[in-house]
Amino acid sequence: MRSLQKTPIKKMSIDGILIVDKPEGKTSFSVVARLKRLSGEKRIGHAGTLDPIATGVLPICFGQATRIVQFLTNSSKTYLAHIELGVTTDTFDRQGKIVECKDPGDITIARIEQALNAFRGIINQVPPAFSAVKQGGRRSYELARAGIPIKLKSRQVKITKLEILKYRQPLIEISVDCSKGTYIRSLANDLGQHLGCGAHLKNLTRLRCGPFSIRDALSLDKIEDAFHEDAWKELIHPMDSPLWNWRAIIVGRKNELDIRNGRPFALDEYYPLSEEYCRAYDLDGNFLAVLHFIPEKQKWHPEKVFSLA
């Protein structure tokens, strides 16, 4: 049990990103709520929900950084998953009700490898009934818990890497690189159906979200200590760090004024070849805005404008 005899936390304004190593049993919302209490910052959001049984990388955006959550959420992810063959559950993970059991005794690693070919590349995937996907204005899991039949539509996702790391029957350990919107629970269930024995997700760790890896992630206890000791600034990533793979431009005072007033503008030397977005900085090196290129107007539009700290 942690000591309650701590130095009171000062309320402060924070613009940046903390990478939390989410523990098992916590919801993403509860992590956000705890950090709100610790920091006193009201504007906090997470980038990409993790189920309570899942652990690993959960980026938490503070202050103005909440305005770039969408770009982090849309980024690719890497997961380490443990899938148990032979048992199917209604939630597609170990917390669900068992709906079917079959003997996976004849499932070889060669058969698993062959089956995984069906899930590489761009695929259509149906989200779990017990998920936050909305149907008729309500969360799918609310309908499922009420016993209301649900038929969710499939969606396109992209799995760029899918590798078996270990197989000790009935457990498979796999590594997955995937696009936003991919449900590893659905992948586990679908793999079990493909093999004919059923399966569910036993454990899941997110190893990467966009540019942030598990090496960047910190425990909630360490983060709490840092806030109490007023050492939290050392843990905060700049709010433009998830966008560092984008083109960066430096604008002069005239274009800075255009940006701060929300006016689109043209920059011939920065005509994009394929880029939809870029990041803009003022002459002092301050992160100024996320710019979105409008092809019809041949101009950059200030989509997200940030004030100086």
Residues labelled as active-site residues: 51
Identify any residues that bridge with 167 across adjacent strands, giving them in sequence order: 172
Closest alpha carbon to 16 in 242, 264, 206: 242
How many CB atoms are closer than 10 A to CB 290? 22
Six-digit token string for 154: 């499939």
